[in-house]
Amino acid sequence: MPYPTPRRTTTGYGTCDACDRRVLYALTTKHRKIIAIDPAPDPTGNQAVSVKDATYWTRQLSTDRPVPEEREILRRPHHATCPAARARTGVRPAPWRQR
């Protein structure tokens, strides 16, 4: 019986469970969830990543704070570039309706 993947409890570098690429796991500042981020800095990214007390934190750029602040680096979420995630997502079928 297959078990679900255990939930991550730490931040830092690791590998993606789906494609085995190197990723950076960081906590979101808003909801305190761990998400995978591409480790390479990307000026077109929408995640501002910083390190505080050996913990990686990320926040999404917003209209209130549209640019990275001091000691933040722009990066992209890994879900946007993961080939396995792209293969899993698709167009949802429309709900069936009788005519």
- What pLDDT does 17 receive? 86
Per-residue pLDDT of the chain (99 residues; tens, 9 = 90+): 577 767 777 889 999 988 999 999 999 999 999 999 999 999 999 999 999 999 999 999 999 999 999 999 999 999 999 988 766 655 566 666 666
SS (H, E, C) 23-88: EEEEEECCCCCEEEECCCCCCCCCEEEEEECCEEEEEECCCCCCCCCCCCEEECEHHHCCHHHHHH
